[in-house]
Amino acid sequence: MTIIEIVLMALSLSVDTLAVSMCGSVTLGKTDFRKTAGVALAFAVMQAAFLSAGWLLGSSIVRYVESIAGAIGFILLLYIGVNMIRGALKAGSGESVNLSGIRSLILASVATSIDAAAVGVSLAMTEPDMKTIVISIVSVFVITAAAAVTGVLGGCRIGSRFGKPAQIAGGIVLIAIGLNILIG
């Protein structure tokens, strides 16, 4: 994967975090550095952990499915991308999420990170070197943290305006990366 593909992947994965943190920011009350950093850290750690877990799982099975690894990566990314687009187009997908308690924050960060595990599996199907894996994990962590900070500071008003188009764009990017895996 090129650095551009890695950054686009990280941006696509962080779209859910951006939307949830924007709409959930209303539950935080007055935000300060500590609250914002806590939300950003929870989402970023979970996203990077799920990507890593997916990659580890995918790496352990890639030798068994080597001949169809590209197709598996494509199908996973196609599925995630289509679901992102479908979710953005679904009526009533802009509800508020409670981010004020640690339990609610962890549940929200897990919910937005499940896709990262599937992306990690598809990443393993490309059999990247360790440098690419580390850059991918760090990029996902940093971009997800930035998305969470932007979301918390931006609030629900910005989320309702830009959340759906960003989610659609993220889905399209994941599908395009999947096509690149299938072709390349």
Q: Decide: 59 and 124 in contact? Cβ < 8 Å.
A: yes
**pTM score of the predicted model:** 0.78
Q: Decide: 70 and 182 in contact? Cβ < 8 Å.
A: yes
Residues 6+ positions from 83 with CB-CB distance below 8 Å: 115, 171
Residue 48 has pLDDT above 80, yes or no: yes
Question: What b/e readout covers 56-84, taking b as 16+ CB neighbours within 10 angstroms?
Answer: eebbeebeeeeeebbebbbbbbbbbbeeb
Q: The domain containing residue 70 runs over which residues?
A: 3-183
SS3 158: helix
Taking alpha carbons only, the member of 131, 129, 116 closest to residue 44 is 116
What's the pLDDT at 174?
Answer: 77
Cα(117)–Cα(38) distance, rounded to whole angstroms?
22
Residue 24 has pLDDT above 60, yes or no: yes
Q: How many residues are given for the chain?
A: 184
Q: How many domains is the chain built from?
A: 1
* Pair of tokens at residue 159: 């989320």
> Average pLDDT of the chain?
84
pLDDT digits (tens, 9 = 90+) for 92-133: 555 556 787 888 889 888 888 888 998 999 899 888 899 999
Residue 3 has pLDDT above 90, yes or no: yes
pLDDT digits (tens, 9 = 90+) for 57-74: 999 888 787 778 778 878
Q: Decide: 149 and 16 in contact? Cβ < 8 Å.
A: no
